[in-house]
Amino acid sequence: MRNFTSFEISFAIQYKFPAVSGVVFGMESTEHKKYRSPLVSRYASPEMSYNFSDMKKFSTWRKLWTFLAKAEKKLGLNITDKQIQEMEENLKNIDFKRAAEEEKKVRHDVMAHVHTFAACCPLAAPIIHLGATSAYVGDNTDLIVMRDGFDILLPKLARCIHRLSLFAKQQKDLPCLGYTHLQPAQLTTMGKRACIWIQDLVMDLQNLETARENLRFRGVKGTTGTQASFLQLFEGDEEKVHIVNRYFNFSRNFIICGQTYSRKVDVDCLNVLASLGASVHKICTDIRLLANFKELEEPFEKDQIGSSAMPYKRNPMRSERCCSLARHLMCLVQDPLMTASVQWMERTLDDSANRRVCLPEAFLTADIVLSTLQNISEGLVVYPKVIERRVKQELPFMATENVIMAMVKAGGNRQECHEQIRVLSHQAGQVVKQEGGDNDLVQRIKDCPYFKPVHHQLDSLLDPSTFTGRAPSQVTKFLEKEVQPKLKKYEDNLDSTVQLEL
């Protein structure tokens, strides 16, 4: 039985892939005894996990080396078709064990993989990495992986917006209590509140698109960004150096850089992800609060257990997970901020270990936050009767001004009416706060002879739909004018649903 690579073992344990022999990877190893990041083992999607895997990283290094060899051959260097063919045939034939042994020996990850690639490409060995520095494969691969990470996240974010848009449209007319300072305020509608959530996510969609489009290929720049090694390779021909520096499926590349691309790029990328984390945290906090009010619930599975000790509980665990991970996502931007600030001169190496952690974790965290939010959005449950009861508890106080105006129209004195209704309001408030009873202000007004001229109008004066202003029409206009145009480019990716394993 062959020895599996560390990547194969960890990936197979995570996704339970069987080996060719029928034995599950890792069952004969000690890999299951090692720490594995929960972001991969418990939460993130297979596609995002693979995007930051060793296989993706090092096969991309090999693609970049092959790309460079092709460009150098085309520009006249002594490189053969057989050498390039050999490289292309071994892009994913990576001996991770050998690479690890090489790195232990030479203490340099790029050279370890140059030697490992050369071992399976003996013809091409002399020209692998020709003229390049480590940042050629390291930085360019990071840019490619972040670009691909955004390409995974953007459709997921679009789906969250789409699902919440369907919810907002469905609930655009349902009056509910608005809250300022978490105290009951003027009525809004459930759909209008959802549009506040959507608006933040639409801003995030724009931010992620911008960050993705702003990514530029580092290209081949040499040890300090001067391209001196390539100028020497091409005997001083600057035009050939310019041509070999073509982008790798990027719209543009950096003209200026040191040994690495500016670490402010990492700041910009993680900043938009942190901002997305703030949006999701706010949305899921609202859902958790509304779940406490019993107005709204996230999906709850038939056999799901809310508490080991309290069987009746229906905890908003998905929203809690989003908030928990969103906090981590918001914090991660501090790493590239500090890294960018200490990149002395053309670069220092204190960025490397930090970036190995913060870049993957940011994208992996954003990935599971969006998948979970989509799952929540696809199964939100509204309880209109609870909402109606809560509205009725507060609406009589909100309607007092309408009652006063109706009385004045019927010939009453505004100041006298205000005093009458003030006394009744305080009496009703005492029943609610001190006796724990229902708000009986309406009944008190009906029983008060002073208000007889407007008794027949009380039902219409207390109709909740008359207190929501333009909320329903705002929902319709917002979805049509601002949301649907943004989703148009993702319309082929909107049907995918999410099934959470945990």
Q: What's the rounded Cα separation, in Å, for the pair 51 and 62? A: 15
Amino acid at 91: L
- CA 228 vs CA 63, 220, 236, 247, 259: distances in Å: 23, 10, 9, 19, 12
**What DSSP element (H or E) covers 371?**
helix 352-377
DSSP state letter for 12: H
Count of other CB atoms within 10 angstroms of residue 398? 17
Residues contacting 332, CB < 8 A, separation 6+ = 270, 273, 274, 358, 361, 362, 365
Q: What's the rounded Cα separation, in Å, for the pair 459 and 72? A: 83
Q: What's the rounded Cα separation, in Å, for the pair 372 and 498? A: 8
Residues contacting 119, CB < 8 A, separation 6+ = 95, 98, 125
Q: CA nearest 478: which of 220, 240, 168?
A: 168
Residues contacting 355, CB < 8 A, separation 6+ = 142, 266, 335, 336, 339
Instruction: List the catalytic residues.
Output: 181, 307
| Residues pairing with 381 in the sheet | 297
Q: What's the rounded Cα separation, in Å, for the pair 354 and 307? A: 38
